[in-house]
Structure 1
Amino acid sequence: MRLPDAVESLLRGWHWPLLALVVLVVLLLLGRLIGNRLGMKRWGLPEALLAGGLGLLLAPAGLLPLVPQPVIDLWNQLPLPLLTLVFASLLLGKPLPKLGGLWRPLSGQVLMALTLAFGQFLVGGLAVLLVLQPLLGTSPVMALLIEVAYEGGHGSAAAMGPTYERLGLEGGQALGLAMATVGLLASTVVGGLVVVLARARGWLSFGAAIPLQEAMEIVVEQTPPLEAIPADQPLEEGTLELPAWWRQGADWAVNMALAGIAVAIGCGLLAALRWGADRSGGVFAMVIDALPVFPLALVGSLLVRLALEKSGQERWVSTPIQSQTGTLAADLLITAATACLDLRLLAADWLPLTVLALAGLLWNLAVVLLLAPRILPADWFERAILEFGQATGVAASGLLLLRMADPDDRSEAVTAFSIKQLLLQPLLAGGVITVVAPLVVVGWGLPAWTSLCLVLVLLWIALGLVLAQQANTD
């Protein structure tokens, strides 16, 4: 779309980033407004996905091309910095868990999650090696799409897309986002059918399952709103009382500064690693050169939180603000990445996407139905269906399925799941292993990576069975 010369002149330079930001925020607001009217949250679907769909309609290749190409080019650069901010705020607002005594009660949950994730790498590798490469000659990096999209979701798929493209997978970001959308829908639809099956087979530990509509209403009612930022607490005598808006602004400024420190630590760690890699060379240099900053921003988040707790200054961190920061950054990321999708590429690659989507879904179902009863505690189905929802779609999908199976919240599934997420988030679903995997595939070859994943999956399963047997004999 060609803009008038006067408008083109006005928007040169820094005006383009401003326009890109304004349009992106407006799209997100519209998506939230329409999504709220449609009740998307009740289905566990992010409203940002709808906002991105609106952006796709307004993109230069859309039905109503109102957004100019320079704006799209700027949106294409947003996923990595936005995901870095998400990871920087991830651990800041959460008290660090005391790890002593946690492993035994969480062992089955952790090992099942590891089996799901590495199994997605495994079935992706087998699908590419046995089907897609012989028939279509696809890139070996395509084998990683299941884990980054199902486990990681839209945010991880958008952030890792450029890395996949540099390593030979054309349109890696668009393919990952499409896979993530399929997983999001399948987690609710297929998961709901699994809950119905569980009711018929007597797998539920705490009574009969409830209908999907009622479960959605329970999720909406029981999901607590973000806490209001405290602005009206009484002050000590003699203290100057500031206006509420000033105190809220100060809270936001402090928390943004803490998140900025976490990002700065991540950047510093990455710079140090690259300095060392330049002097060592070899495979290490190749790995570090392709390493993005967001896993190291998570390390920065952990270090800042640890320093605050050790010094007794954690009061400076606001859990609601850090939660809102991560949520807003993730929503903007999904909106921007979805609006930049190349639909022609997706139409051309529908066959490999279908093969991988089915392979990942069948693996997740097999783990839930065959492995979970053997390694999880007595309320195994409630724990397993929550893992299925998260490992196929998003955590909200898992919560929705859990409410269908356990509407009175009598199982220990949510507590175990939350601690497990905190332990494994730095590694999987966009963490270090997700980042390193494509580098290993390119460096070692897909057969070697798939063989390694097979060994690890067998190891996690064996450990889970052994620990479950020990727990039953105690």
Structure 2
Amino acid sequence: MNLSLFDVLLSFSGLCLLLLVGTALRQHLGWLRRLGIPEALIAGLLGLLIGPFGPWSVFPEQVYRIWSQAPGVLISLVFATLFLGQRLPSPGVIWNRAAGQTAFGMVLGFGQYLVGGLLVLLVLQPLFGTSPLMAALIEVGFEGGHGTAAGLGPTFRELGFPAGETLGLAMATVGVLTAVLLGSTLVVIGRARQWLARVNRSQQALDTVDPMSAEERLNLERAAGTVDPDAPRSMTIDALTLNVALAGGAVGLGILLKALLTGLAGWFGGPETANLILAIPVFPLAMVGGLIVQVVLQRTGQTGLASPLAQASLGSVAMDLLITAAMASLNLPLLEENWLPFVALAVVGLTWNIAAFLVLAPRIFRDHWFERGIADFGQGTGVTATGLLLLRMADPLGRSRAMEAFSFKQLLFEPFLGGGLVTALSPVLIASWGLPRFSAVALALTLASLVFGLRLGRAR
């Protein structure tokens, strides 16, 4: 079926209309705001009703085809903008401020692979003949989120697991909803049990001298690091065009890197290795491309060319369109066929996250363990915005300084887990290594992260 430019325009218009309706519903329905459900997810669920597998299919087939292919393109743009416009601190500064937070995040992430691998290996495969690639779904859905799940759709299909994208999106939806509900409950319990930091008079005096200002919190929430204070804030069309070009250049570098890796794999490892490299998605390499572009801008003294606000807005637009398109084109029959293994994985993943927060966080974080841990729980179950929401609930005045550590942690964590290189490679590694070996490596990495985190806790 040939696609025309009119089909692309109609598809884009349909997504925009769904986003407008989703925004209006969230503004007028207070319970949606209280749950913290993003507008794009509401729009996607509305699109599911009028999508190809919904009760009311209203668009031509070409539109749904474009919606199903759009996430794989948009996720590369999202990841290309992560480092653009951000002043990259020295490795020492990042490490000193975010080592403990990173260790706990790695325990959560690698542990999700571990419990998922053990469940599939010991229970789901023998009973239901489940694909070993389902072992990656907990981390892909919870840590990675909707964007990562949609971006890995072609990889799952290439590896013979076409249901992977649908199940990953469903896992991400479960993660967003349960992160808010369970996280809010944990905050209430934490206040009742006095797990949250208690403020004494000396602390109150300190807060009056060195409070975290609203502007400082906003800057930390906008970027995973420090924002260049000299970067231009203008949003004229010239500045926006330049920032789009920088992001597009980062994506282009990612494509070139993949072509280079594929060529090297074919040269040294043969056709079979090259086919495995072809299954790797472009988006983590686009993130590397964005990092390269930002480093070049810093080395040449041209950091002002990349606006942090423009890059954040560009990434947000791509992510909102991505989530809406991915949810609207969700393949419900594939979800129905795998509902029992899916439920088992979701329950095990949530159990692991809660247990890690309640048992391990107090031992890894020797100060403000609840505030620091609840931010990672929110991100590791839902999305980064969920972690920030729960942190605001637990520490509305920013006394714990957990926001700073949580933000700097992203520079160490996101390139690997939560949608980074490890997340993108996990289906390929399961297919090439086999699930037993993959689970053993996940066990080793989980234990290593835990030992490292416990040592940091004792040292502090």
TM-score by length of structure 2 reads 0.89
1:63 match: secondary structure: coil
1:248 aligns with 2:236: yes
Which residue in 2 is equivalent to 1:316? 305
Deviation at 1:161, TM superposition (A): 2.1
1:276 aligns with 2:264: yes
Deviation at 1:345, TM superposition (A): 2.3
Deviation at 1:104, TM superposition (A): 3.9
Aligned counterparts, 1:226-241, within 5 A:
none
Which residue in 2 is equivalent to 1:457? 446
2:405 match: secondary structure: helix
Describe the shift of the 1:313–1:12 C-alpha distance in structure 2 as closer, same or farther (beyond 3 A). closer
- Aligned counterpart for 2:159 among listed residues 152, 163, 167: 167
TM-score by length of structure 1 reads 0.87
> Does the 8 A contact of 1:295 with 1:431 survive in 2?
yes
Percent of paired sites with the same residue? 49
1:58 aligns with 2:50: yes
The count of corresponding residues between Structure 1 and Structure 2 is 433
Which residue in 1 is equivalent to 2:113? 121
1:347 aligns with 2:336: yes
Deviation at 1:94, TM superposition (A): 1.4
Deviation at 1:396, TM superposition (A): 1.6
1:373 match: secondary structure: helix
Deviation at 1:117, TM superposition (A): 0.3
Aligned counterparts, 1:458-473, within 5 A:
458-471=447-460
> Does the 8 A contact of 1:84 with 1:263 survive in 2?
yes
Write the letter of the residue equivalent to 2:183: G
Q: Find the aligned partners of 1:105 and 1:338 in 2 and give their Cα distance.
A: 37
> Does the 8 A contact of 1:59 with 1:68 survive in 2?
no
Q: Find the aligned partners of 1:14 and 1:468 in 2 and give their Cα distance.
A: 57
1:78 match: secondary structure: helix
Unaligned runs of 5+ in 1: 1-7, 209-218, 227-243
Larger Rg, first or second structure (1 or 2): 1
1:434 aligns with 2:423: yes
Write the letter of the residue equivalent to 2:282: V
Which residue in 2 is equivalent to 1:30? 21
Describe the shift of the 1:12–1:349 C-alpha distance in structure 2 as closer, same or farther (beyond 3 A). closer
1:341 match: secondary structure: coil
1:152 match: secondary structure: helix
1:429 match: secondary structure: coil
Which residue in 1 is equivalent to 2:399? 410
Describe the shift of the 1:12–1:95 C-alpha distance in structure 2 as closer, same or farther (beyond 3 A). closer
Which residue in 1 is equivalent to 2:247? 259
> Does the 8 A contact of 1:162 with 1:172 survive in 2?
no
Which residue in 1 is equivalent to 2:90? 98
Deviation at 1:141, TM superposition (A): 0.1
Deviation at 1:374, TM superposition (A): 0.8
Deviation at 1:254, TM superposition (A): 0.7
- What per-residue deviation string (whole Å, max 9, x for no partner) do you get for residues 244-290 of structure 1? 99x71111111111111111111111111122122122464243221
Write the letter of the residue equivalent to 2:189: L
Deviation at 1:14, TM superposition (A): 2.6
Which residue in 2 is equivalent to 1:445? 434
Aligned counterparts, 1:336-375, within 5 A:
336-375=325-364
Q: Find the aligned partners of 1:133 and 1:174 in 2 and give their Cα distance.
A: 19
Q: Which is further off, 273-282 or 90-99?
A: 273-282
Deviation at 1:327, TM superposition (A): 0.3
Which residue in 1 is equivalent to 2:282? 293
Q: Find the aligned partners of 2:198 and 2:86 in 1 and give their Cα distance.
A: 30
- Aligned counterpart for 1:77 among listed residues 69, 78, 95: 69
Which residue in 2 is equivalent to 1:233? none
Describe the shift of the 1:264–1:60 C-alpha distance in structure 2 as closer, same or farther (beyond 3 A). closer
- What per-residue deviation string (whole Å, max 9, x for no partner) do you get for residues 318-370 of structure 1? 11111110000000000000001122222232211111111111111111111
> Does the 8 A contact of 1:139 with 1:168 survive in 2?
no
Deviation at 1:25, TM superposition (A): 1.9
Deviation at 1:41, TM superposition (A): 4.9
Q: Find the aligned partners of 1:80 and 1:17 in 2 and give their Cα distance.
A: 15
Q: Find the aligned partners of 1:198 and 1:186 in 2 and give their Cα distance.
A: 17
Which residue in 1 is equivalent to 2:383? 394
1:13 aligns with 2:4: yes
2:367 match: secondary structure: coil
Which residue in 1 is equivalent to 2:228? none
Write the letter of the residue equivalent to 2:299: K
Write the letter of the residue equivalent to 1:23: G
- What per-residue deviation string (whole Å, max 9, x for no partner) do you get for residues 149-202 of structure 1? 000000001111221232232311111111111111110111111112212222
> Does the 8 A contact of 1:43 with 1:397 survive in 2?
no
- Aligned counterpart for 1:148 among listed residues 131, 137, 140: 140
Which residue in 2 is equivalent to 1:302? 291
1:44 aligns with 2:36: yes
2:87 match: secondary structure: coil
Unaligned runs of 5+ in 2: 201-213, 223-232
1:185 aligns with 2:177: yes
1:196 aligns with 2:188: yes
**Root-mean-square deviation (CA), in Å?**
2.3
- Aligned counterpart for 1:378 among listed residues 362, 367, 387: 367
1:168 match: secondary structure: coil
> Does the 8 A contact of 2:116 with 2:138 survive in 1?
yes
